[in-house]
Amino acid sequence: MISVLFVCYGNICRSPVAEGVFKTLITEASLDKKLSCDSAGTASYHLGQLPDRRTRENALEHGLTLTHRARRMTGDDLAQFDYFVAMDEMNLEAIEKLNYRSTGLHTSDTIFLLREFDPKVSDEPNVPDPYYEGPEVFEEVYQIVLRCCRQLLAYLIQQHNLKIGERAKE
């Protein structure tokens, strides 16, 4: 099973949306026996909380129900996950520091910024943090995450020679 961890700061806005979107894409491609994902934060301000209410409301508008509980990324995640996808440069740096201190196991081909997969040309490397913003930014985040997760899935399918609709032998 190939596993992906989406990471933002508090694990209540951006990374839970990425987790929910990616799980949906995995299921739609019938790859849920080959790929899995989770999300975490680099800070511990919201441990155990559901995603932000506005994040959940926006996700529901797109047919997603987010039930993830916020958690902090730990060194154990480095051994459990194959890929780490940060929502912004600050969190990318936090993942890289944790990786360096813990194992050094992961390299630049397993730790990414989500917007590296953005098919829309942008000079902005970060998914904006909508926490202090209005509903339009939550929608913008959803749209960025959706298009980037589609490309991330295509990348993983190519990298691991997966076939859409392929199921693991049980």
CB 156 within 8 A of CB 2: yes
Active site residues: 8, 14, 129
Q: From CA 134, how far away is CA 52, in angstroms rounded?
A: 13
Q: From CA 161, how far away is CA 163, in angstroms rounded?
A: 7
Q: From CA 87, how far away is CA 156, in angstroms rounded?
A: 18
Among 78, 93, 94, 81, residue whose Cα is nearest residue 38: 81
